[in-house]
Amino acid sequence: MKTKKALCLVMALAMVFGLLSACGGDGGTSNTPTPEYAYVPTYTELSRDIGYVYNTVRSGDLIYFVGEVEGEPIVEQIPSYDDNGNPILDEEGNPVMEEYTYTRTEPALFSVKLDGSDLKNVKGYVKPEMPAEAEGGSFWINNMCATPDGGFAIIENVYYSIPVSAGDGSGDESGTDAAEGSVDAGVTPLAATSSDVAVAVPEPMPGGDEQVEYTSVQKYNLRVFDAAGNEKLCIDLSSLTEDSDYFYVSAFAVDGQGNTVLMTGGNALTILDAQGNVTGSIDLSTEQTGVGNIIALADGSVAALVYSEDYSSFDLCPVDMTGMKLGESIASLPTDAYSAAPSGGGYDLCYNKGESFYGYTMATDTEEKLVTWINCDVNSSNVSSASITESGDIVCLSSEYSNTGEGATTYLITLKKTPYDQVPQKTTLTLACVYLNYDVKNMVLDFNRKSSDYRIEVRDYSEFNTDDDYTAGLTKLITEIGSGAVPDILITDSLPMDTFGAKGLFEDLWPYIEADEEIGGRAGVVEPFFNAISQEGKLYEVTSGFAVRTIAGPSSIIGTEPGWTYDDMFAALDQMPEGCELFSLGTTRNDVFSSICTMNLSNFVDWNTGECSFDSEEFISLMEFANRFPETFDWENHEWTPEDNDSTRIKEGRQLLVMLSLSDPYSYTYYSEMFNGEMTLKGYPGVPGSGAVFYSNGTGLAISSTCADKDAAWSFVRTLLTRDYQENYGYGFVTNRELFDENIKNMVGQSYYTYDESTGEEKEIKFTQENADLIADLIDNTSMVADYNTSQINDIINEEVAYYFSGEKTAQDVAATIQNRVSIYVNEQR
């Protein structure tokens, strides 16, 4: 034990001095004012034997939490089958049974001191016993809160099934007996009633005729423990289910006098005294906007978070235990404060908001950003219930998972409030984003932990979003970039890269790829895709994956070579039986127009020159083509059947073409099977080469042309292109050429199994070398990329084209108007 503690201490010190310098309240650009304090993290390893950690709560000087542990081996008797999948029967026709042994995880309760020492099981917690006749029993802890004596309380769910034959033959009585019999010794039931919720009738065993009915039983227990871990109270909440068809405890809290407030079914509060007796209830159905949660406050009271009239915030309303009502609002909190908790360090409450952690002061109605988790090298996805100590430090638990499948390691993380000038500093590069996805978050954490000279600091603009404007953060970021305040590195998702690229705001990444020997230069990436997203030969972003969109049809009707016109499509349709349609059931003219226009948009806008060509015959033909489709489809009165899917319609000659997306070998074989292996990837009209269009299937990263250390930024960005990253996080066709080729090669000869809905049978499809060659040819001959991030242009186009579809204007007039308006917009943005 001493050895392990010493190892934890060494690891903690290493994390302080080796992982990072520190994090302040505001990550962001280099002109951010130097903060007075920073938070320096210390990681203390607690256990590698505890799995998923959840329902964490700090009470007094301890942190209590639920962790998944391996349960006792379970032995079951199951029917045995021969190699052909047939049941093996004995001489009397009964199934031959065999033993099957397995283990599963189950929740356990733990406590640990704030310094990471004295990790132990809560001694008073014993898992609930199931009735002897119960089958399929399980339990879980769905909520936990602190109690005023330094202890805690939990809501425990228990679920099991009882065979009806286990009772006296009556389903109701059997269920009742089971529920009553399952109450543990020492439990004070509110009422001896059942909480049966369902009856299931399974199929009979092979060789047997008897059908067995089961009564499903679900119980809720309130269990309270003191600071020493002794169980003080265990209450069966079954009687609260009597007047409810669907009972559940969505939240609960304990006040300073030990009274428990339960939020049940989302529409009522039930109050229990310290002995577990019901003292009253509050009907929440009168709260027209609804109650999001109930929380304990620092003064020992309990308050409800009531949605404001416009749902943009919470009104904090105390629970009046005497008058059995909600009091007037005492504060207004952001909706991010849904899981707010009492706080030390001079704050009343603390809560997460996006990637950052805040303290809230009620007297001044102000919130203060204390840390951005990732800027402290903490993965917020793994953090469970952070809290602020009286000294202002932040403590939390984190379960970190290994990509190698070695399971989770649980850490206690202490973020110590430290004067900023006492913290060693690294050269900081700022990464800006609107929402930080899981993959890039791990990239940042890995980079910061390994680099001794540099660190990536994240500024997540989603924190500027409001309930009224979910794009406020994106708007702010685009505005700042347009004004020249460009962060060092950017996640390019949702950004108008065509606009910014034409302005020269980003670094051309081709020279970095060409000089990167480990990647292998241009030959080390899937060059056709990166050529397509380049502008005038300059590559402003890289990504880890891509897909291809195209239009496919039967080779016997549309030929075997790509490329065609809109008239060619309808000429092919004329060869089909009466009533055959071009595309999927319910396709409208807006569907066709928006899809094909998005694929073709780069044909009509040149951001480098500012020239547009919406008044061309090609765009006019697109409008006229889309106008041949119905305005709407009456989905409300259409009853969907399996015969309406693309595969069945194509096989039966009721549909000619399919718009598809190819992102892996399986997707190719899936669509090819629709056409019985005789499929041509014809492409979109007006699109050169293969007629297909690329689109990014992964996160994009760019480097600012004003970045102070571009080589350091590249050492981070290049991670997206590495084999190791794409093996773990790649989605779709990967952009690392070696891995791309290997993935395709490994699939040749592999079989897929699909369900043929027209016959109801399973069908084997094999991926062949010919299929692999067709995919390679498709990618090599694709040169355009879909443009999904030009919403302003799309708004102009959709607004004007509606006049043509309604018959108010001619296609030529609408095209001229679009040409004028989009040209003005494009040149304003340049």
Count of structural domains, the chain: 2
Domain termination site, one of 185, 219, 247: 247
Kindly state the tokens that stand for 470. 């979910």
Evaluate if pTM is beyond 0.85. Answer: no
Angle at 443 between CA 440 and CA 444, to 5 degrees: 90
Pairwise CA distance, residues 583 & 629, whole Å: 10
pLDDT value, residue 216? 87
Reading phi first (left if > 0) and then psi (alpha if -120 to 50, else beta), residue 324 is in: left
Candidates 506, 480, 502, 504; CA nearest to 492 is: 506
Q: Is residue 460 part of a domain?
A: no
Residue holding tokens 């990732």?
374
Residues in the chain: 830
Query: What per-residue confidence (pLDDT) applies to 712?
Result: 96
Q: DSSP secondary structure string, 386-415?
A: EEE-TTS-EEEEEEEE-TTS--EEEEEEEE
The Cα 133–Cα 136 span in angstroms is 10
- Looking at residue 288, its pLDDT comes to 73
CATH code of the domain in which 620 resides: 3.40.190
Residue at 518 is within a domain: no
> Which residue is associated with the tokens 């590195």?
489
Give the tokens for residue 743: 């993935």
**Domain boundary at 217, 247, 277, which?**
247
**Which structural domain, as residue segments, surrounds residue 618?**
545-697+734-787
Q: Would 235 be classed as within a structural domain?
A: yes
Q: What is the pLDDT of residue 469?
A: 86
Instruction: Note whether residue 163 is domain-resident.
Output: yes
**How many Cβ atoms sit within 10 Å of the Cβ of residue 788?**
13
CA 773 to CA 182: how far, in whole Å? 64
Residue 420 falls inside a structural domain: no
* Domain end residue (candidates: 247, 276, 295): 247
**Domain presence at residue 679:** yes
HEC states along 172-201?
Answer: HHHHHHHHHHCCCCCCCCCCCCCCEEEEEC
Mean pLDDT in order along the chain per 10 residues (830 residues): 37 37 48 75 88 89 92 83 84 88 89 93 93 86 94 94 62 38 38 38 46 83 96 89 74 95 87 94 84 92 92 92 93 90 91 90 92 89 89 90 71 91 87 91 90 91 85 91 91 88 91 97 97 94 96 95 91 90 94 91 88 94 94 92 90 94 92 92 93 92 95 97 91 95 94 72 86 95 85 91 95 96 88
Q: How far apart are CA 344 and CA 37, in angstroms?
A: 17
- The answer to whether residue 761 sits within a structural domain is yes
Residue 644 lies in a domain: yes
Question: Which pLDDT does position 245 carry in this prediction?
Answer: 66
Dihedral sign from CA coordinates of 625, 629, 632, 638? negative
Number of C-beta neighbours around residue 283 at 10 A: 11
